[in-house]
Amino acid sequence: MRIGELASRTGVSIRSLRYYEEQGLLHSSRSGSGQRHYTEEEVDRVAFIQRLYAAGLSSRTIAELLPCVDLPSEEHSDAALERMAQERDRLSEHITDLVRTRDALDELMAKARQHRETLRTAVAG
């Protein structure tokens, strides 16, 4: 499939797909006229890359992890496992911070509702 179809099927811009290629995250073959062609597997790969980006991983970190995905080996696995553990720890800390922030917002909302109810009661009384 050509780059436009891959973009359409994955919901990722053509510009982003080109960037993924520049960073070594995505690979294509080229036609005689230089057009990029992708395999069906690239649809899943782009979705995987998007999930890693959404989790806050940089293209550099993703590039470090992909060799383990592409060609699992003891050499790749040790380094990738260490890197994944670091990223998992970072994500866990971020999740903890997000939960703490959500809980603080819940408290503020409860106080605002309580205050609003107090005002209504005072006006009605």
| Interval 104-118: pLDDT, tens | 999 999 999 999 999
What's 30's DSSP letter? E
| Interval 8-47: pLDDT, tens | 999 999 999 999 999 999 999 998 998 999 999 999 999 9
Is a pLDDT exceeding 80 seen at residue 78?
no
Own/partner contacts of 87-92, CB < 8 Å, gap of 24 or more, are 87/55, 87/57, 87/61, 90/56, 91/55, 91/56
pTM for the full predicted model? 0.68
How sure is the predictor about 79, in pLDDT bands with cuts at 50, 70 and 90? confident
Contact criterion met (CB below 8 Å) for 20 and 26: yes
Q: What is the CA radius of gyration of the chain?
A: 23
Mean pLDDT of 93-110: 96
Q: What tokens were used for 124?
A: 């009605």
C-beta atoms surrounding 19 within 10 Å: 14
| Interval 46-61: pLDDT, tens | 999 999 999 888 998 8
